[in-house]
Chain A
Amino acid sequence: MLKENISLTQLEALLLNFLLGSAIVIGIGTDAKNDAWIAILIATLIGGGTILFYWFLMNRLPGKTLYELLEFCFGRKFAILLSHGYIVYFLYNSGRVIRDFGELMASALMPNTPIEIISLTICFVIGYILYLGLEVLARTSEIFTPYLFGFIFLLTIFLLVSGQIEMTRLLPVLGEGFKPILKSLFPGLLTFPFGELIVFTVIFLNVTDTKKGQKASLIGVGVASFLLIFSSILMIVTLGVDGILRSNFPLLSTAREVAIGNFIERIDAIVVFIMMLGILVKGSVFLYGALKGLEYIYKKPFRYFSIPFAMLVAFYSVLISVNFADHLQEGLKLVPYFLHLPFQFGIPAVMLVILLWKQRKGKKNKTGWNYGSNQKAKKNPGT
């Protein structure tokens, strides 16, 4: 099957938009109230560690995806079962991301358009992008990322000029101690958005320069975290803690505060662009992760699956919950414990232990550590 290549800049752009994705739509670390930015700052360090952990895991067997690593650790049959689990997990997450966007559009911007139409439309676009391949997704992300920076800069300037910013809203710092921060960190910020980077384990091998990939990933996570912290501070100083807690989409509410000379008003479009790009990339990356799993199980090019499974995501994005409150409840109470923790940390941790054990065993037997090549050598002793 044809191997696609993405550059380091494209990887950074993908990581940046992926991490901003739905996190910037619904706001993160709100449990920590006006210390949300400190919570995100600490989560950034953990996020950096998480991406390094995934790189370390993938570097054990270079050139293999997450699914091939599963096969190496658990054998083909059990790997198929686990891969199916990952496929469902990625599709479910993609559905949740699309739902966030659908709710944003249907409740705040286009109230007369059914959420079903919004989901279906964006899923068609995602399906088509992935049909064209990962390179197209990476290029799309790379092209639009500078606009994202420009729009965040514009939003900040507009808010400053309109006099809506009050820095005292950030005070008191650590007023309630570290407890609220820890509460928002575990498992909230640990799993969302940083733990979701597990899906990049199917993308890392497409990076042209894998040696520098690790550094580029850290830069991507760093820049995304900086933007998340910056947007969090911007929301707190504009809306205040109560305003953020009352709002479903705090960044959108922040943008609506802009009013300069009764002329520059309702600059929602700027924020919606940022959110739409994030959702498009995040939804696509999750779907791509699932498609690569299907490619691994059924041994057919992932492109065959792209449109049908995009339709499946559209269907489940609406079916997963009755309303937005239900959607948030599921996302806070159930998903982190039953899906995020096992798939983001549980299985990879077990895999790492087995990988290291197998490689050590391989070294002891003096047969080298590359299990795949050993198996081939055993099958074809003459070659």
Chain B
Amino acid sequence: MITLSYFLTFSSLWVLTALFDSALYHYSIWEGLKYLLFNEISMDMVYLISGLLIGLAFCIVTDIRLYRNKKKGNQAKGNKN
């Protein structure tokens, strides 16, 4: 769930940024999306992409831990019954 929320929010922010760029520079939304991907991601962005990947790793690990806890909880309930 946390990973899903991460991707959803990432995409929404991407679209919002592209929308504003396209409104400001008078080009289409598709061009705005492409521009963000190919032009604005510069060399120094590698630091931020690393940060983004760290965030993604956090999400995946948290999701796995939550899933394991849930599974354990279900098993404990099953044993009691």
A contact residues vs B (CB 8 Å cutoff)? 84, 87-88, 91-92, 95, 114-117, 119-120, 123, 294, 297-298, 300, 304-305, 307-312, 314-316, 318-320, 322, 326, 329-330, 333-335, 338
Contacts and interface: CB of A to CB of B under 8 A. Distances in A.
Nearest to B11: A88
A334 B26 CA distance: 13
A256 B62 CA distance: 47
Contacts of B45: 116, 318-319
Contact of A300 (B2, B9, B48): B2
A375 to B, nearest CB: 25
B51 A298 contact: no
B48 A120 contact: yes
B24 A330 contact: yes
Contacts of A338: 20
Given A88-B9, A334-B23, A308 B55 contact: yes
Contacts of A297: 5
A213 B30 CA distance: 47
B64 interface: no
A294 B62 CA distance: 15
Contacts of A319: 17, 36, 40-41, 45, 48
B7 to A, nearest CB: 10
Main secondary structure of the interface of B (DSSP, over half): helix
Contacts of A305: 2, 5
B13 A316 contact: yes
Contacts of A311: 51-52, 54-55, 58
Interface in B1-54: 1-2, 5-6, 8-10, 12-13, 16-17, 20, 23-24, 36, 40-41, 44-45, 47-49, 51-52, 54
B51 A314 contact: yes
B24 A298 contact: no
Contacts of B17: 316, 319-320
Contacts of B59: 308
Given A304-B62, A311-B55, A119 B48 contact: yes
A305 B5 CA distance: 9
Nearest to B54: A311
B48 A318 contact: yes
B24 to A, nearest CB: 6
Given A119-B48, A319-B40, A330 B20 contact: yes
Closest 10 CB pairs of A and B: A311-B55, A308-B55, A116-B47, A311-B51, A114-B44, A88-B12, A308-B58, A116-B44, A315-B48, A298-B1
Given A117-B47, A315-B48, A322-B40, A307 B58 contact: yes
Given A326-B24, A333-B24, A294 B5 contact: yes
